[in-house]
A and B are shown apart, each in its own frame.
Chain A
Amino acid sequence: DQQVKQNSPSLSVQEGRISILNCDYTNSMFDYFLWYKKYPAEGPTFLISISSIKDKNEDGRFTVFLNKSAKHLSLHIVPSQPGDSAVYFCAASGGGGSNYKLTFGKGTLLTVNP
């Protein structure tokens, strides 16, 4: 029962272009969404988050968009840099008694080519 889905296992973009990573969720109780970046042999690093009361949050080169009606969020990275190459995880929390429990997607491997 995957409540958070990242349907693209990998994405390859050219340096300087935009990277768009997508995430879908099924649990309508989720009200807080996060993106994490992970390098091999390291722990996930928090990138950016968005609350369900917003539809956009921006932090430097990173922007997260939330479409609640479609239960979809996306992470835009622009311009993409080779150092952005990593696995990106979408995560969600909210609702019920365990509203601080993060449910993760399976991740998307982003490769930014110089």
Chain B
Amino acid sequence: DTAVSQTPKYLVTQMGNDKSIKCEQNLGHDTMYWYKQDSKKFLKIMFSYNNKELIINETVPNRFSPKSPDKAHLNLHINSLELGDSAVYFCASSRQTSGGPQYFGPGTRLTVT
């Protein structure tokens, strides 16, 4: 009964390819997030959706496009992958937008070769 799940857990692909990472939460939360943990281990927010509406879009290249078909799902599509996109991507969700804890998925380790 994983609260926040992500697929795949590992993704190895070549430069220039397009790939997607899926995220689902069964907590009934309204808000979902994508974070990136880079090689320096910093966790940084990329996007946030509240009830399928984009509310945060940090300075992320437009090759990254989140899609939220419903409030339980937030997928991340990446076009034209680059070496620098290699990182661990975490999905998270929270009950509300104004603070409160966020609950994280297990992460997807993306390796671009």
Interfacial residues, chain A to chain B (CB-CB below 8 A): 31-32, 34, 36, 41-46, 49, 51, 89, 91, 93-94, 98-102, 104, 106-107
Q: Which residue of A lies closest to B104 (CB)?
A: A43
The complex places the Cα of A98 from the Cα of B94 at a distance, in Å, of 14
* Residues of B in contact with A, size category: 20 to 34
B34-59 residues at the A interface, CB under 8 angstroms: 40-45, 48, 55-56
Query: Is there contact, CB below 8 Å, between B99 and A106?
Result: no
Min distance, Cβ A54 to any Cβ of chain B, angstroms = 13
Query: Is there contact, CB below 8 Å, between B101 and A104?
Result: no
B68-113 residues at the A interface, CB under 8 angstroms: 90, 92, 94, 96-107
Is residue B21 within 8 Å, beta carbon to beta carbon, of the partner chain? Answer: no
Query: Is there contact, CB below 8 Å, between B56 and A98?
Result: yes
Instruction: Choose from A43, A98, A104, A107 the contact partner of B44 (Cβ within 8 Å).
Output: A104
Interfacial residues, chain B to chain A (CB-CB below 8 A): 4, 31, 40-45, 48, 55-56, 90, 92, 94, 96-107
Query: Is there contact, CB below 8 Å, between B98 and A102?
Result: no
Q: Which residue of A lies closest to B101 (CB)?
A: A46
Q: Which residue of B lies closest to A32 (CB)?
A: B99
Min distance, Cβ B54 to any Cβ of chain A, angstroms = 12
Chain A hits for B42, CB < 8 A: 104, 106
Tally of A-B Cβ pairs under 8 angstroms: 57
Query: Is there contact, CB below 8 Å, between A43 and B97?
Result: no
A-B contacts, 17 of them at CB < 8 A, read A31-B99, A41-B106, A42-B107, A43-B105, A43-B107, A44-B104, A46-B101, A46-B102, A89-B43, A94-B99, A99-B97, A100-B55, A100-B99, A101-B45, A102-B43, A106-B41, A107-B41
Instruction: Choose from A42, A49, A91 the contact partner of B106 (Cβ within 8 Å).
Output: A42
Chain B hits for A34, CB < 8 A: 101
Query: Is there contact, CB below 8 Å, between B98 and A100?
Result: yes
